[in-house]
Amino acid sequence: MSLEDKIKLIKESEMLPKPTLKMLSEKYRIGKSTIGDIMQKKSTYMFFSVKRM
């Protein structure tokens, strides 16, 4: 999964109404545990996305 896709997932997960892990899992075709891993490293991904700009 690309950094851009991870950032999209992170931003989408923070929208209201908050999507479920199942919804995000189906949309991005990844497992719920992978989404959890991405969310745990959210600050790292956001840092690198800003740094790339």
Chain position carrying tokens 């919804």: 23
Q: What gap in Å lies between CA 6 and CA 37, rounded to an integer?
A: 11
Cα separation values, 18 from 10, 26, 52, Å: 11, 15, 28
Task: Please name the fold of domain 3-52.
Answer: Arc Repressor Mutant, subunit A (1.10.10)
pLDDT band (50, 70, 90) for residue 53? low
What does the pLDDT look like over 1-52, one tens digit per residue? Answer: 999 999 999 999 999 999 999 999 999 999 999 999 999 999 999 998 887 7
Q: Do 17 and 10 touch, CB atoms closer than 8 A?
A: no
pTM of the model: 0.88
